[in-house]
Homo-oligomer: A and B are copies of this chain.
């Protein structure tokens, strides 16, 4: 470890910038948030911020990526838990849905930052999808090991779960579902139960 404190400072400074940016966006919206204001919120100049982030867009991206990591951490808890995979998958999907719903309701401006990522950063979305699919696959592999399900291709089955529940996890769909007052929890539960019923019965996928 050549410089542990430098790395630590870097991390905490990044976190401070992100927190200052979050506060600005929350109060004034994405459109009216500029880098100088973020810097003022930290009592520094905007030049300093550009030593830690390449651009304003990078700061906003980082806020969304941070939220995605939090979700991933939350989802991972269902991987590391014991129990029937039907319960764990259902818990994971409902937790992801609830988290998004909560963020949309309590922090709409910050939540809205997802739009840029969905439109302009497909690789970030793809990476999130890969991470989530991996977590799902671990649960399914667990179920197969315990003889709870009969799945020949765990990867393909995980892809099926990921695709089938996307509508309950994708930020745009969650926002629309909340606005429409849909019974998303019930709908998501039904989808997960159906998928699990198929896995218990056994399926052959490509």
Contact = CB atoms under 8 A, between A and B. Distances in A.
Contacts of A180: 122, 126
Given A163-B168, A180-B126, A193 B203 contact: yes
A187 interface: yes
Task: State how many copies of this chain the complex holds.
Answer: 2
19 contacts: A122-B176, A122-B179, A126-B180, A156-B190, A157-B194, A163-B164, A163-B168, A163-B187, A163-B188, A164-B164, A164-B165, A164-B167, A166-B167, A189-B206, A190-B205, A193-B205, A194-B199, A195-B195, A198-B198
Given A160-B194, A163-B190, A190-B206, 10 more contacts: A126-B180, A157-B194, A160-B191, A163-B167, A163-B188, A164-B191, A164-B194, A194-B203, A198-B201, A200-B201
Interface of A: 122, 125-126, 156-157, 159-160, 163-168, 170, 172-173, 176, 179-180, 186-191, 193-203, 205-206
